[in-house]
Amino acid sequence: MKLTILAFGIAKEIIGQLELPVQLAEAATVADLKQFLTQQFPDFHKLASLRVAVNTEYADDNAVLCPNDEIVLIPPVSGG
């Protein structure tokens, strides 16, 4: 299935663009997406944490993705 991933912060810098089209198997999970991203962009290994939001809700690794989902990569945030 074809998905469009939105990336912000350091995730956007790693990918090199705001939107990333991704082709994954039907019924792929958030864990499958993270594995794909790490294979395609090894710098994702350097992130202490990476959250994924699906349709405005944080999703755990077992969440199943659908083609029309809004999928956002949320990297670790620091401030001060």
Task: Indicate whether 13 belongs to any domain.
Answer: yes
What's the structural domain count of the chain? 1
In terms of residue numbers, what domain contains 10?
Answer: 2-69
Task: Indicate whether 63 belongs to any domain.
Answer: yes
**How far is it, in rounded angstroms, from Cα 8 to Cα 19?**
9
Say what the pLDDT of residue 29 is: 97
Task: Indicate whether 77 belongs to any domain.
Answer: no
Task: Indicate whether 78 belongs to any domain.
Answer: no
Task: Indicate whether 79 belongs to any domain.
Answer: no
pLDDT of 10 over the 80 cut: yes
Task: Indicate whether 14 belongs to any domain.
Answer: yes
- CATH no. for residue 9? 3.10.20.30
In this structure, are residues 52 and 30 in contact, taking their beta carbons and an 8 Å threshold? yes
Range 26-47 average pLDDT: 93
Say what the pLDDT of residue 28 is: 97
CA angle (33 as vertex; 51, 3 as ends), nearest 5: 105
Say what the pLDDT of residue 43 is: 93
